[in-house]
């Protein structure tokens, strides 16, 4: 249902249904479920994504990306 809602939302906004953003919509639907189930907040998800981005950009090519454990 969450993915269907997300796909309907973007269709209503006029996004073409060509599948090129399917992964982005899947992630948005999963994030919405996590927030709806009170498993995390939007702020904590956004913060963790930024931590991932920073770690990825600072990791030499071919090396594993390592994130620090988040509190909680």
Q: Phi first, then psi: give them for residue 39, nearest 5 degrees.
A: -85, -20
Average pLDDT score over the chain: 92
72, pLDDT greater than 70:
no
Where do the structural domains in the chain lie, given as residue ranges? Answer: 1-39, 41-72
The per-residue pLDDT for range 34-58, each reduced to its tens digit, is 999 999 999 999 999 999 999 999 9
Quote the CA–CA distance of 45 and 35 in Å, as a whole number.
9
pLDDT (0 to 100) of residue 70: 64
pLDDT at position 16: 87
User: What do you get for the CA distance between the two ends of the chain, in Å?
Assistant: 29
| Residue pair 55/67 in contact by the 8 Å Cβ criterion | yes
Question: Averaged over 11-22, what is the pLDDT?
Answer: 90
């Amino acid at each position: 249902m969450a993915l269907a809602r997300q796909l309907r939302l973007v269709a209503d906004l006029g996004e073409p249904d060509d599948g090129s953003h399917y992964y982005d919509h899947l992630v948005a639907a999963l994030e919405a479920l996590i927030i709806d189930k009170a498993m995390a907040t939007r702020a904590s998800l956004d913060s963790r994504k930024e931590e991932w981005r920073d770690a990825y950009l600072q990791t030499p090519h071919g090396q594993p990306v390592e994130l620090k454990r988040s509190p909680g």
